[in-house]
């Protein structure tokens, strides 16, 4: 039976750290918390929860801090979490079954809570967080594991709310831009810089970095589908409808099985219609088909898929389109489909229609 160490790097996480440690303390053999300069009660709370706490002088590198934490661990396997994450629906037996049967990097599902246009949404991501001793990290920010071992999905689930009503762009952007000086043509870095500018609502700056990242893509990258979807959302926000149309036409065959792509395409076509561009009203059929395709595909198991784009969000947007154009029976049907999944805006609109 293998032993497991939790490793974390933290700073000023007194509001979150107890929740995280309590969720995992019965699943691991030791808890390693590396503090990078807290001025609140983070370290004291971690100690009370049973963690071993170490101090580390921050060097503007998440990989350096992660690797220091790994060196403090004494177990056969490492589980990595952040303080704003917590384990759900997981048992020690589930973890043991993985570590005792595979020599691999374990990918865990992280469900992230965030706000999109004043509405709470959830993003599913698979992250490599469970691995044997000897693995290490590289990268100043959005650090990546260095190992030749295969990356395999586990049944472990973690919830994350660190970006819910929280802006971390002022922390992340300088580190990303500094990293870009060393790797100026890295589409992964360019993508994340674009996302941070988009989150700051600086859509023009985001567009420059999205454009650079997109031009560097080979379509072999794991983040390729997400980059395209994020880029399209930015073209909507920035009003770059011609650019967005070119991207959709170029990528529709490659991303035909990704509901998030069809969902943002539907929103894009709807934006075209609302702009009332001459000769583009036939795109109403494209709007309808985009959301119907989302429903046909259903929810995706891909990493970085937003919960609902293959179900209640697509149904609701389709209902809105029918509602706007007076197709009440169809609108009611799709509002009902979204309401079945407890989507509150659909339930509210359905009451008004009924």
pLDDT at 151: 95
Mean pLDDT score, 172-186: 92
Helix (H) or strand (E) holding 224: helix 224-238
pLDDT, one tens digit per residue, over 17-38 is: 999 999 999 999 999 999 999 9
pLDDT, one tens digit per residue, over 235-251 is: 999 999 899 999 999 99
End-to-end CA, the chain: 60
By CB atoms closer than 10 A (0-12, 13-18, 19+), residue 78 is buried
- How far apart CA 123 and CA 299 sit, in angstroms, is 12
Residue 123, φ and ψ in degrees, nearest 5: -115, 130
CA distances, 288 to each of 229, 243, 292, 314, 347 (Å): 18, 21, 6, 10, 21
Mean pLDDT score, 350-354: 85
pLDDT at 115: 87
- How far apart CA 226 and CA 223 sit, in angstroms, is 5
pLDDT, one tens digit per residue, over 116-126 is: 888 899 999 99
Residue 317 has pLDDT above 70, yes or no: yes
pLDDT, one tens digit per residue, over 62-86 is: 999 999 999 999 999 999 999 999 9
192 plus 277 within the same structural domain = yes
What are the residues facing 113 on neighbouring strands?
A: 122
DSSP string, 79-118: EE--TTEEEES--HHHHHHHHTT--SEEEEEEEEEEEETT
196 plus 111 within the same structural domain = no
- pLDDT above 90 covers what percent of the chain? 83
Q: For residue 150, what is the domain's CATH number? A: 3.90.550.10
The number of distinct structural domains making up the chain is 2
Residue 186 has pLDDT above 90, yes or no: yes
Q: Residue 73 sits in which domain range?
A: 4-160
Residue 42, φ and ψ in degrees, nearest 5: -55, -50
Mean pLDDT score, 329-351: 95
pLDDT at 302: 80
pLDDT at 280: 55
Which of the four pLDDT bands, split at 50, 70 and 90, describes residue 276? low
10 plus 38 within the same structural domain = yes
Among 160, 177, 211, the domain-final residue is 160
Q: For residue 265, what is the domain's CATH number? A: 1.25.40.10
17 plus 123 within the same structural domain = yes
pLDDT at 303: 75
Among 143, 160, 177, the domain-final residue is 160
DSSP string, 114-167: EEETTEEEEEEEEEEEEEETT-EEE-SSS-EEE-SSPEEEEEEEEEE-TTTT--
- How far apart CA 313 and CA 346 sit, in angstroms, is 9
21 plus 128 within the same structural domain = yes
215 plus 288 within the same structural domain = yes
Among 133, 160, 187, the domain-final residue is 160
| Closest to 52 measured CA to CA, from 25, 72, 31 | 31
pLDDT at 1: 72
Which of the four pLDDT bands, split at 50, 70 and 90, describes residue 275? low
pLDDT, one tens digit per residue, over 284-295 is: 889 999 999 999
Which residues of 173-331 form beta strands (DSSP E)? 305-306
226 plus 150 within the same structural domain = no
12 plus 91 within the same structural domain = yes
pLDDT at 50: 98
146 plus 225 within the same structural domain = no
122 plus 67 within the same structural domain = yes
pLDDT at 81: 98
Q: Which residue has the higher pLDDT, 262 or 116?
A: 262
Residue 164 has pLDDT above 90, yes or no: no
- pLDDT above 70 covers what percent of the chain? 98
143 plus 269 within the same structural domain = no
145 plus 101 within the same structural domain = yes
DSSP type of residue 57 = -
**Across all residues in the chain, what is the average pLDDT?**
93
């Amino acid at each position: 039976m293998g032993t497991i160490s939790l490793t974390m790097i933290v700073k000023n996480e007194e509001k979150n750290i107890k929740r995280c440690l309590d969720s995992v303390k019965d699943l691991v053999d030791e808890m390693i918390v590396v503090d990078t300069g807290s001025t609140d009660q983070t370290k004291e709370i971690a100690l009370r929860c049973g963690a071993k706490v170490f101090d580390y002088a921050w060097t503007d590198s998440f990989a350096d801090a992660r690797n220091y934490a790994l060196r403090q661990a004494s177990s056969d396997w490492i589980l990595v979490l952040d303080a704003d994450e917590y384990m759900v629906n997981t048992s020690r037996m589930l973890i043991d079954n993985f570590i005792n049967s595979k020599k691999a990097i374990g990918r865990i599902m992280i469900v992230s809570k965030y706000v999109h246009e004043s509405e709470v949404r959830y993003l599913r991501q698979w992250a490599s967080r469970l691995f044997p001793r000897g693995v290490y990290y590289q990268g100043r920010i959005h650090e990546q594991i260095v190992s030749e071992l295969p990356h395999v999905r586990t049944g472990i689930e973690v919830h994350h709310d660190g970006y819910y009503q929280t802006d971390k762009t002022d922390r992340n952007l300088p580190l990303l831009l500094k990293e870009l000086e060393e790797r100026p043509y890295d589409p992964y870095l360019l993508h994340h810089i674009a996302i941070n500018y988009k989150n700051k609502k600086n859509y023009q700056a985001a567009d420059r970095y999205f454009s650079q990242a997109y031009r560097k893509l080979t379509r072999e990258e794991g983040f390729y589908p997400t980059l395209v979807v994020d880029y399209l959302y930015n073209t909507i926000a920035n009003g770059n409808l011609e650019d967005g149309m070119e991207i959709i036409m170029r990528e529709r065959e490659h991303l035909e099985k990704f509901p998030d792509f069809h969902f943002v395409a539907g929103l894009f076509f709807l934006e075209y219609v609302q702009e009332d561009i001459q000769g583009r009203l036939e795109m109403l059929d494209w709007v309808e088909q985009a959301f119907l395709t989302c429903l046909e595909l259903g929810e995706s198991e891909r990493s970085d898929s937003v919960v609902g784009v293959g179900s209640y969000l697509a149904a609701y947007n389709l209902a809105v389109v029918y509602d706007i154009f007076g197709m009440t029976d169809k609108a009611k049907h799709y509002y009902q489909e979204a309401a079945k999944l407890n989507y509150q805006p659909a339930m509210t609109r359905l009451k008004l229609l009924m």
